[in-house]
Amino acid sequence: MFETLKPLPQDPILQLMQTFRDDPRPDKVDLGIGVYKDDAGNTPIMAAVHEAERRLLAGETTKGYVGPAGSAGYNDAMASLILGTDNALIRDGRTAVVQTPGGCGALRMAAEFLRLCNPATTVWVSTPTWANHLPLLGGAGLTIREYPYLNRDTLQVDFAAMLESLEGAKPGDVVLLHGCCHNPSGADLDLEQWQDVTTLIQRKGLLPFVDMAYQGLGDGLEKDAAGLRHLASQVPEMLAAASCSKNFGLYRERTGALVLISETASINQAATSQLLSVIRSHYSMPPAHGAAIVETILGDSDLTQQWQSELGGMCERILHLRQAFAEALAPAGDFSFIARQRGMFSFLGITPEQVRALREDHGIYMLDSSRVNVAGLNDKVLPQVADAIRSVL
């Protein structure tokens, strides 16, 4: 049976990782892989995470299963983090949160749940969007449509084109939105645009689905969630996927959450029972360790304050790098959009040939699309990277 299978081409990002590892040049710079890095080029473990793990190891008494929904304490903490403390949706029982294996698990379980609700579900995704959105959602059998999002000339949100395209969506269609720190462009909707999108979704009877993978790394925890919270307050039902990979640094722990908002508490109970059945038939129940770390941090005021301080420092560092990067590139053209954007990623707007020249001649690695991980820079390598980019321009 297996001999009929043909090898697939390697994922471009994984291939870039391998090429970077094989490059012997000591001054090579990795701006392709989408993980946060500190000034030393490492992806650190947060001090709050270290302390939470210490407490867990000291007090853990079992490795028993946590159940398909995961930890109730973690789910409650994530509901408050995403929707805000004392949110009426939580008080009224219209919200359910389930723990998932990372943001990817949340996206896929949402897709499987939507297919259960309606096998003919259509999901509208932005152009561009995170590459893994397409296999995660489309792989569940959902129909994928695209709406324009980024103006390739200005590298800013083409909001008029986005709204015009979504006018073609039909009642019951799903609209996937990035909660903040749009991946891969870094170009976010402002609050007024979120309000306009909310009005369109209400008028056309669409179902919003928000992917919140970077809360806290744009303008802070509260501001980054403002658009999602406004949308949630205005629509009868909604889905949201969240990840703790970036804002808690728990990449390999695969810690995420899926938020389900329904029109009434009774509808939410029925829908949640169906969602849990979907989860049970796929991976049965999520891993516990990462969620236990988050639950420990968010359940202790001192640890929460420490985590928020560390996360705030990461956010400020990214904002500093964006400003410095834009200024360093200014002699070669107008790159001020980098400073205006948020999160870890930006497109430089250069050609694949120029990207290749950066890689081959200067050891500067980024995706062929010219998407760079700004968080992969630091003050030491930034002049080197800027010089190389100016040279290929």
Report the distance separating Cα 95 and Cα 263, nearest Å.
9
Closest CA to 218 of 318, 346, 101: 318
Report the distance separating Cα 299 and Cα 318, nearest Å.
27
Contacts of 161 (CB under 8 A, 6+ apart): 147, 148, 151
**Confidence band, pLDDT 50/70/90 cuts, at residue 387:** very high
User: Which SS3 state, helix, strand or coil, does residue 92 take?
Assistant: coil
For tokens 């939580």, the residue is 90
Report the distance separating Cα 287 and Cα 293, nearest Å.
12
pLDDT (0 to 100) of residue 13: 83
Report the distance separating Cα 229 and Cα 222, nearest Å.
10
For tokens 């970036």, the residue is 246
Q: Calculate the average pLDDT of the chain.
A: 96
What are the structure tokens assigned to 274, written together? 């169906």
**Confidence band, pLDDT 50/70/90 cuts, at residue 103:** very high
Q: Which domains does the chain have, with CATH numbers?
A: 6-44+307-392 (3.90.1150.10), 66-299 (3.40.640.10)
For tokens 């070669």, the residue is 332
Contacts of 155 (CB under 8 A, 6+ apart): 185, 187, 337, 346, 347, 349
* pTM of the entire predicted model: 0.95
pLDDT tens-place string over residues 7-34: 988 888 888 889 999 999 999 999 998 8
Encoded amino acid at 310, one letter: E
pLDDT tens-place string over residues 224-236: 999 999 999 999 9
pLDDT (0 to 100) of residue 33: 87
pLDDT tens-place string over residues 35-59: 999 999 899 999 999 999 999 999 9
Report the distance separating Cα 290 and Cα 73, nearest Å.
13
Across 290-317, average pLDDT? 98
pLDDT (0 to 100) of residue 11: 82
Return the beta strands (E) in the chain as ranges.
Answer: 29-30, 95-101, 122-127, 143-148, 150-151, 156-157, 174-178, 207-212, 238-243, 255-261, 345-347, 364-365, 371-373
pLDDT (0 to 100) of residue 240: 98
Strands 364-365 and 255-261: unpaired
pLDDT (0 to 100) of residue 12: 82
> Residue 249 has what DSSP assignment?
-
Return the beta strands (E) in 58-102 as ranges.
Answer: 95-101
pLDDT tens-place string over residues 160-190: 999 999 999 999 999 999 999 999 999 999 9
Across 273-295, average pLDDT? 97
Contacts of 267 (CB under 8 A, 6+ apart): 237
Residue percentage of the chain with pLDDT more than 70: 100
pLDDT (0 to 100) of residue 243: 98
Report the distance separating Cα 12 and Cα 359, nearest Å.
14
Give the residue numbers marked as catalytic: 130, 211, 213, 246
Across 306-313, average pLDDT? 98
pLDDT (0 to 100) of residue 14: 84
**What are the beta bridge partners of residue 123?**
144, 174
pLDDT tens-place string over residues 135-162: 999 999 999 999 999 998 899 999 999 9
Contacts of 344 (CB under 8 A, 6+ apart): 34, 36, 181, 183, 186, 214, 217, 246, 318, 373, 374, 375
Across 320-343, average pLDDT? 96
Across 346-352, average pLDDT? 94
Across 91-111, average pLDDT? 98
Closest CA to 350 of 164, 155, 219: 155
